[in-house]
């Protein structure tokens, strides 16, 4: 699947000269700082979740990136260091399924000295094997995607005949390794798993972990998104609150995507991510680095910026830093605020390539 990528030279971004970054606070056209960097370490996944990598597209004939096309650990670490120098405080490793990338704990070990909050999103399928090594390497936090606790529903959604129990074992292994709390992400889709919202809340209450419900989004161009399939976060909160009274709590930091709610009886908290019905574009502070080194300024982007050519073409860190700063300063993305039925149909980069 092709992705539109804009070339960057050492002297030009978007056809304009690249100004030298003066070291001051970096802000885009809407005044948003760059705080988070999401790095996709592989475009491969062992699941075929219908909302992300539907099997009819990502089938046996799909051509994934060749190893030489993807960024090496050294290249990722070099770029991450430049981003941290520009103000990034949090780095999330994503995919595809990041734990399919060979020796991923070694990358974590290379990134940890940068001092950013280092996190990972995974489907949990191999956490039993890797959780302890990830913790030892310096990973701070883990998020696990788990869309259903019902066996039939989960196997249908991951479309890989993968059992719930193995993901739950992975979450337990992460907790035993010292990751606490583990965040569990549940994408909710009407007519698929929407009837399981309260059951999921009941299961994770008092577990010490944090369940977050994500509205079904029109990421990429292959998941068949329809507004009718979206269960608004307000409805999720209402349903849970009828069973277990909730009260809102403040965000952990400016730009946090999840709205936070706690159980009034002290049984923990839940979150809702409302990109469709309550857009948070005005506070979005995330940049995304694709598996092969393209930079994306929005999850719903139609184009990226080629950093790999700078890396492999001999550009020094200052030139790369200045290019990244120029891209961010020109950023004006407000996709979720501007979403319509028509914009939702436009070609966009796939989530498995850019990371969630």
Which residues are within 8 A (CB) of 177 and not within 5 positions of it... i.e. 6 or more apart? 131, 132, 134, 135
pLDDT at 9 over 70: no
Give the mean model confidence (pLDDT) for residues 274-294: 87
Model pLDDT, residue 152: 97
Provide the pLDDT confidence category of residue 51 given band limits of 50, 70 and 90. Answer: confident
Model pLDDT, residue 91: 98
Question: Residue 261 is part of a domain; what is its CATH number?
Answer: 3.20.20.70
pLDDT at 65 over 60: yes
Which residues are within 8 A (CB) of 229 and not within 5 positions of it... i.e. 6 or more apart? 189, 190, 191, 192, 216
Which tens digit of pLDDT belongs to each residue from 123-157?
Answer: 999 999 999 999 999 999 999 999 999 999 999 99
pLDDT at 12 over 80: no
Nearest-angstrom CA–CA distance, 16 and 9: 10
pLDDT at 25 over 70: yes
Model pLDDT, residue 14: 62
Between 13 and 49, residue with greater pLDDT? 49
CB 38 within 8 A of CB 301: no
Nearest-angstrom CA–CA distance, 201 and 180: 18
Which residues are within 8 A (CB) of 147 and not within 5 positions of it... i.e. 6 or more apart? 49, 153, 154, 157, 158, 186, 187, 188, 193
Model pLDDT, residue 275: 81
Give the mean model confidence (pLDDT) for residues 181-208: 96
Q: What is the full DSSP assignment across 79-131?
A: HHHHHHHTT--EEEEESS-GGGSTTHHHHHHHHGGG-SEEEEEE-STTHHHHH
- Percent share of the chain, pLDDT over 70: 88
Number of domains in the chain: 1
Q: What angle do CA 252, 88, 215 make, to 5 degrees?
A: 50
222-225 LR contacts (CB < 8 Å, sep 24+): 222/54, 222/57, 222/350, 223/50, 223/51, 223/52, 223/54, 224/50, 224/54, 225/51, 225/344
Nearest-angstrom CA–CA distance, 344 and 221: 8
Provide the pLDDT confidence category of residue 11 given band limits of 50, 70 and 90. Answer: low
Between 64-78, 96-110, 280-294, 336-350, the lowest mean confidence (pLDDT) is in 336-350
Provide the pLDDT confidence category of residue 308 given band limits of 50, 70 and 90. Answer: very high
Q: How confident is the prediction for the chain on average, in pLDDT?
A: 90
3 state SS of 228: helix
Model pLDDT, residue 4: 74
Model pLDDT, residue 1: 45
Between 1 and 332, residue with greater pLDDT? 332
pLDDT at 208 over 60: yes
- Residue numbers of the domain that contains 217: 4-354
Provide the pLDDT confidence category of residue 10 given band limits of 50, 70 and 90. Answer: low
Between 289 and 11, residue with greater pLDDT? 289
């Amino acid at each position: 699947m092709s992705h539109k990528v804009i070339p960057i030279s050492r002297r030009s971004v978007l056809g304009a000269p690249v100004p030298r970054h003066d070291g001051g606070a970096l802000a885009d056209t809407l005044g948003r700082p760059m705080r988070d960097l999401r790095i996709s370490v592989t475009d491969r996944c062992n699941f075929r979740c219908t909302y992300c990598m539907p099997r009819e597209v990502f089938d046996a004939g799909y051509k994934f990136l060749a190893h030489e096309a993807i960024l090496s650990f050294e290249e990722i670490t070099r770029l991450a260091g430049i981003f941290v120098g520009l103000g990034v405080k949090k780095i999330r490793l994503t995919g595809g399924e990041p734990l399919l990338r060979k020796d991923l704990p070694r990358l974590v070990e290379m990134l940890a000295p940068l001092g950013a909050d280092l996190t990972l999103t995974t489907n949990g399928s191999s956490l039993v094997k890797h959780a302890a090594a990830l913790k030892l390497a310096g990973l701070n936090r883990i998020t696990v995607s788990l869309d259903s606790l019902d066996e039939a529903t989960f196997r249908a959604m991951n479309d890989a005949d993968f059992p719930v129990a193995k993901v739950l074992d992975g979450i337990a292994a992460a907790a035993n390794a010292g990751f606490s709390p583990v965040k569990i992400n549940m994408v909710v889709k009407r007519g698929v798993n929407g009837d399981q919202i309260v059951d999921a809340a009941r299961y994770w209450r008092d577990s010490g972990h944090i369940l977050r419900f994500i509205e079904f989004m029109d990421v990429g161009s292959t998941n068949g998104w329809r507004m009718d399939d979206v269960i608004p976060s307000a409805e999720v909160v209402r349903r849970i609150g009828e069973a277990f009274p909730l009260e809102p709590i403040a965000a952990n930091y400016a730009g946090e995507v999840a709205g936070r709610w706690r159980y009034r009886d002290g049984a923990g908290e839940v979150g809702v991510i409302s990109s469709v019905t309550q857009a948070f574009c005005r506070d979005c502070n995330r940049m995304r680095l694709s598996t092969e080194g393209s930079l994306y300024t929005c999850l719903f982007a139609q184009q990226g910026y080629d950093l790999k050519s700078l890396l492999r073409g001999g550009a020094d860190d200052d030139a790369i830093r200045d290019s990244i700063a120029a891209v961010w300063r020109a950023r004006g993305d407000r996709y979720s605020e501007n979403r319509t039925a028509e914009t939702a149909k436009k070609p966009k980069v796939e989530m498995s390539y850019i990371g969630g």
